[in-house]
Amino acid sequence: MIEFIKKLFGIAQTQEKNPEENEEEKNPKTPISTSLPETLEYLKNEFNSSSDFIKREFEIDGTKAAIINMDGLINKEILATSVINPIRKCSPIVQNNPIEKYNYIRDNILSTADQVEAKTYEEVIKFMTSGSAMLAIDGCNIILAIGIQGFNFRGITEPPNEVMQRESKEGFVEPLRINATMIRRRIRSPKLKFEMMTLGSVTETDIYLCYLSDVSSKFLVDEMKKRLKKIQINGVLAAGYVSEFLEENRNVSLFSSVGVSERPDTVCAKILEGRVAVLVDGTPSVIIAPFLFTEYFQSLDDYTTKPYFATLTRWLKYFSFFLATLLPGFYVATGTFNPELLPNQLIGKISIAVATTPFSLMFEAFLIHLIYEIMREAGLRLPKPLGHAISIVGGLVIGQTAVSSGLIGGPTLMVVALTALASYVIPNIYEPLAILRLAFIFVGGIMGTWGIMLLFSAVLVDICAKTNFGVPYASPISPFNWFGMRDVFIRSGFRTLSKKVNPVQKMPGSKI
């Protein structure tokens, strides 16, 4: 019986390992032919005679050769001066063997530093679409990939979504290697590792897994690799395509335990704390994992000002969070069910406003929030000149016409405006706040203040129960860790913060 169970267990393990072990069998690699015409014909058919498929045929001492590349992805000047001209002007090659000619050109003629050999057509296509020029010689079953990328990209500027007063004005851009360079410039340690992976069966997008080998735990790095390898998707065009797969399985929480940043200094700060960063080619956003709830209320500006001012700023952010989340629902709940909780003067103003408008407080709050979200989306998507026009029209329609016509009450409009202003104090958490506001309005209009307390308790339980990569999402508040509280509600001085080695590993209940 024991032997039978062992056999069953062995079969189960084999079935689990088969997808990775048989990946090459499912996607067989095609070796390169020694015939140059066959190679050119194969690549031409693969690209279906695409107009950006470029081939330049010539001879090397009587041997046919070709340079193959994709138009727009390479630097044509470097291709002409550093690749084609040196090959054509080199002294006559004594060797008659195509392999010997290939080795002679690779080792003695070409001066480019980035040279990689491709032995299958799949590798050739990947290198070509990444901006390499391919040198193919008739009679040789190896093609040399020469890295002379020359595509245009956006310059390095300050990210508009993460504006800092005293920090660097550099932000990530779309090319992967430039982003890696900005991190390497700030962390000049040989322990900083960049591991390349490919995601997307169609796009074959390159990503970098970045971490400090002597700071990040082995469990975190291995688990990150495991989750990335499990991603089965056709294309990866942005960081959001990947971040969802890095969350815990069946995670339905509004809050994300995976952070995203466009600033290299912010990413470097997280890497120094033991986190792992994921850089995705083609997007300026870098994924950071694991991410804690308290980090929504932190910014690099906190560490460039005095501790007392940074502490005040954090208190304002926490107050703004509760204001943006609870104020509309509490206003609807008290105005509908518990008016005795409000001052007498305010009750009179609200009662007059409700009596002169045709809608209830709950419907008014819903309506204004929906109109505000429509205006925000329109101003965000439209060009800037039209965006200003939208803000003026929205201010006239909602701020003056709606109130003067008696459709919306003035106190409700004031509450919604204050809520919207508070939500922009912590823009990184705007998406869950927008959903929570509507949920609190609905619960407050149906169940009153008891419903507000019940829903708030549910949100609090969700935050405290959430984990990712073995790290509690609410750390270091829950479970409580006095060591980590030095940089949560207050910002201690650097003499105290410098004692912090790796806060992720110090968290109680953390597996890493």
pLDDT in tens, 88-104: 777 656 567 888 888 88
**pTM of the model as a whole:** 0.82
Lowest mean pLDDT among 270-274, 417-421, 508-512: 508-512
The pair of structure tokens assigned to 265 is 């200094």
Tell me: pLDDT of 187 over 80: yes
pLDDT over 50 at 512, yes or no:
yes
Q: Are residues 141 and 184 in the same domain?
A: no
In a domain, residue 92? The reply is yes
Residue with tokens 């609870």: 326
Inform me whether the pLDDT recorded for 424 exceeds 70.
Answer: yes
pLDDT at residue 451 in the model: 92
Question: Does residue 16 surpass a pLDDT of 60?
Answer: no
- Give mean pLDDT, residues 208-234: 91
510 or 96: which carries more pLDDT confidence? 96
pLDDT tens for 490-505 read 888 888 777 755 444 4
Chain position carrying tokens 């509690």: 472
Distance linking the first and last C-alpha atoms of the chain: 38
Asked if residue 459 has pLDDT above 70, the reply is: yes
Q: 195-204: string of b/e by CB count within 10 Å (b at 16+)?
A: eeeebbeebb
Two tokens at 418? Answer: 């204050």
Residues 320 and 461 in one domain: yes
Average the pLDDT over each of 263-277, 294-308, 371-385 and give the range with the smallest value: 371-385
Do 391 and 441 reside in the same domain of the chain? yes
360 with 442, same domain: the answer is yes
Residue 19 confidence (pLDDT) above 60: no
Average pLDDT over residues 383-400: 66
* Res 244: pLDDT: 85
Q: Which pLDDT band, with edges at 50, 70 and 90, does 440 fall under?
A: very high
Q: Which long-range contacts (CB under 8 A, 24 or more apart) does 479-485 make?
A: 479/507, 479/508, 479/509, 480/508, 481/506, 481/507, 481/508
Strand partners, 260: 287
512 Cβ contact list (under 8 Å, min separation 6) = 217, 219, 220, 274, 469, 470, 471, 504, 505
DSSP SS3 for 129: helix
Res. 398 pLDDT band, cuts 50 70 90: low
Same domain, 454 and 355: yes
In a domain, 104, yes or no: yes
pLDDT band at 460 (very low <50, low <70, confident <90, very high): very high
CA 211-216-222 angle, to 5 degrees, is: 85
Distance CA 321, CA 470 (A): 26
Following DSSP, what letter does each residue of 447-507 receive, concatenated?
A: HTHHHHHHHHHHHHHHHHH-EETTEETTTTTTTT-TTGGGGTTS---HHHHTT-S-HHHHS
At a CB cut-off of 8 Å and minimum separation 6, what does 291 contact?
256, 257, 258, 259, 275, 468
Has residue 161 been placed in a domain?
no
> What pLDDT shows up at residue 508?
42
Question: Computed over its alpha carbons, how large is the radius of gyration of the chain?
Answer: 30
Give the whole-angstrom CA distance, residue 414 versus residue 410.
Answer: 6
Same domain assignment for residues 44 and 109: yes
Average pLDDT value for the chain = 83
**Structural domain harbouring 62:** 36-147
Inside any domain, residue 334: yes
Query: Do 134 and 202 have their domain in common?
Result: no
Residue 206 lies in a domain: yes
User: Are the CB atoms for 89 and 163 separated by under 8 Å?
Assistant: no
The pLDDT tens digits of the residues spanning 318-368 come to 999 999 999 999 999 988 888 888 887 777 777 777 777 778 888 888 888
Q: Is residue 169 part of a domain?
A: no
Q: How confident is the model at residue 52 (pLDDT cuts 50, 70, 90)?
A: confident
Percent of the chain with pLDDT over 90: 29
Nearest to 468 by CA among 244, 286, 161: 244
**Which of the four pLDDT bands, split at 50, 70 and 90, describes residue 5?**
very low
Residues 285 and 336 in one domain: no
Confidence of residue 202 (pLDDT cuts 50, 70, 90): confident
Q: In terms of domains, do 344 and 269 share one?
A: no
pLDDT higher than threshold 80 for residue 452: yes
Q: Is residue 345 part of a domain?
A: yes
pLDDT band of residue 391 (cuts 50, 70, 90) is: low
* Same domain assignment for residues 406 and 284: no
Range among 68-82, 103-117, 315-329, 470-484 with highest mean pLDDT value: 315-329
Same domain, 394 and 451: yes
Report, as an integer, the average pLDDT of 114-142. Answer: 89
**What distance in Å separates the CA atoms of residue 374 and residue 394, rounded to the nearest whole number?**
10
Segment 401-421 mean pLDDT = 79
Q: Which long-range contacts (CB under 8 A, 24 or more apart) does 442-446 make?
A: 442/362, 442/366, 443/329, 443/333, 444/328, 444/329, 444/330, 444/331, 444/332, 444/333, 444/336, 444/362, 445/332, 445/333, 445/336, 445/360, 445/361, 445/362, 445/365, 446/362
| Residue 262 and residue 199 share a domain | yes
* Confidence (pLDDT) at 136: 92
Determine the residue type at 340: E
User: Does any domain span residue 418?
Assistant: yes
| Total number of domains constituting the chain | 3
User: Under a CB-based contact definition with an 8 Å cutoff, are residues 280 and 242 in contact?
Assistant: yes
- Predicted confidence at residue 386, as pLDDT, reads 65
- Contact of 496 with 486, CB cutoff 8 Å: yes
Three-state secondary structure readout of 338-402: CHHHCCHHHHHHHHHHHHHCCCCHHHHHHHHHHHHHHHHHHHHHCCHHHHHHHHHHHHHHHHHHH
